[in-house]
Structures are given as structure tokens and as C-alpha cells.
Amino acid sequence: MFHYPYENRKEDKMLQRITLKLTYKGEAKASYNWGSMMHGVLMELLPADAAEAFHENSLRPFSQYVLPLGESIIEWNIGLWGDGISDVVAKAILPVNTLEIKHKGILLNVCSSERQNLSERDFMARFFETENPCRKYELEFLTPCTHKSAGKHVLFPTTDLMVQSLCMRFNAYSQEYSLDDPEAMKQIAENMRIVKYSLHSAQYHLDGTKVTGYAGRIVLYISGPEQLVRLAGMLLSFSEYSGIGVKTSLGMGGCRIRPILKEI
């Protein structure tokens, strides 16, 4: 199903997170819906060939979302998990002092910027080199999240849809340690259950349409053998870089994960 430790690997890929705090003037009221506009800002900052490559790729190797922090201040979070594109994005964003949402006439001033790098080896070691794997996690959906199932958007998370979403992105990130075995994904989903939730329906405004999903928190418990528990915890934690569900590059599915070390 999955092999660890790292032996004879060709390279050690990186996971990156960029966080910008931005202020602006005017009467506009910020919300997580600004994520779709910030996607446009990002595309304008990138070199033309990189932006074109993103438009041609249905699975974009990054996620991004916006959180309002208070009056006239937002936090822009970007997760990078694509080989070769992370530095391109970082070099386009980090030197900038101001950003502009042109069609809204909003000028954003960069107050602070932070870039966190984590090697694939160090990321995996958190789960596969610890003595006692964590079996319980709190997963917070910071921006509206949904999945397509039978052609419709779902209003409640299921473990199989979450695992499918995360495996698809993880496979694009780490092809040497891919999780494309349907039986493996099935085992992970079946051994992961939602034991607590505090969710509400939430709409995301996107290109003149509204996508209805969910936001809030769930607590997940992972049963089964230790190797599967480690693998499931790794996948859930990967969500902080990749997001979960549809339209994660446009501001949906932004996630925060917290291990709960005390047993259920």
C-alpha cells in the first residue's frame, strides 16, 4: 500500500506555505470570498508562461484562501506543493509591497510576509518516525468546502470524499510515494470516522455563481493498524498545503489541522 522509510529516493521535494497580512483603505468589507479575486491577483504577478501553464492544468499545484482578520486587514494564505512551481510563485509574491484588485479598485499594502519551507522527508518523518502515532485530529474548514458527488455539491463531509481529494493531490506532489491504489484509499476511509462536528452551510461566490458547501470543525478518529494510522494522519495534515475539495486554488477548502494527543 505504502512504503517507508525513504530509501534510494531521487530528490527531496518541498512543501511551502506563504502567509501575507494585507491592509487596505476604503469601505469594502473583506470576506473569504476575496479568495477568488486574489487568485486573479496571483495570476497577474506570475510570469506569463507560468500563468498559462496553470490555466491549462485542471489540477493546479497550489491552494490559496483569504481570512479577514479585522477592519481593513486580511490574511492571504498560499500552500505550494507542486514540483518546480513553488519558487516561481514565491519569487513573484514575496518582493511585492503592494497588490491591487484592479476591477474593484482596491489597493492592498503588505504588512508582513512569511515563508515556511518543509522538506518531504521532514514532513513524512512527523508521522512515520514517531513512537506513538496520533489517532485523533481536529480538522477546521476555514473557507467553504465541498466535493462533487454524482454531479452535485455535497453539504456534509464524508471520509471517502476527503481521502479521495487528498490522495489525488498527494499523488501529484509525491509520485515516488503515490497513493493511487483504490483499495488503499478505501481502507483509509473506512478506518477514519467523524466522531464530533460543528458545521454550518456556507456559500462561496465565484464568477457570478454561488457554490454551497460547509464550514466549521470536525473531529476524526482513526482506527486500524499503526501503519494505516500514520498514513491517514499524514494525508489529513497535507490538507494544510493542498486544501480539501473543489476550487482550492480559487479560495475554497482552506484547512487547519490539529492533532489531539489524548485518546478518545
The larger pLDDT score, comparing residue 17 to residue 50, is at 17
All three cell numbers of 199, joined, read: 458545521
Q: Say what the pLDDT of residue 208 is.
A: 83
Q: Say what the pLDDT of residue 143 is.
A: 98
Total-model pTM: 0.91
Q: Say what the pLDDT of residue 6 is.
A: 45
Whether 19 has a pLDDT exceeding 50, the answer reads yes
Q: Do domains 14-118 and 120-259 have the same CATH topology?
A: yes
**Segments making up each domain of the chain, as ranges:** 14-118, 120-259
Q: Which fold has domain 14-118?
A: Alpha-Beta Plaits (3.30.70)
Whether 92 has a pLDDT exceeding 60, the answer reads yes
Confidence of residue 184 (pLDDT cuts 50, 70, 90): confident
CA distance 231 to 225: 10
Q: Concatenated DSSP letters for the chain?
A: ----S--S-S---EEEEEEEEEEE-SS----TTHHHHHHHHHHHHS-HHHHHHHHH-SS-SEEEEEEEEETTEEEEEEEE-STTTHHHHHHHHTT-SEEEEGGGTEEEEEEEEEEEEEEHHHHHHHHHSSSS---EEEEEEEEEE--EETTEE-SS--HHHHHHHHHHHHHHH-GGG----HHHHHHHHHTEEEEEEEEEEEEEEETTEEEEEEEEEEEEEE-S-HHHHHHHHHHHHHHHHH-SSS-GGGT---EEEEE--S--
Q: Look at 82-86, 116-120, 241-245, 258-262 and tell me which has the smallest mean pLDDT.
A: 82-86
% of the chain at pLDDT higher than 70: 91
Q: For the residues 101-107, what does the mean pLDDT come to?
A: 91
Q: Which CATH class is domain 120-259?
A: alpha beta
Confidence of residue 87 (pLDDT cuts 50, 70, 90): confident
96: Cβ contacts below 8 Å, ≥ 6 apart: 45, 110
Instruction: Provide the mean pLDDT of the chain.
Output: 90
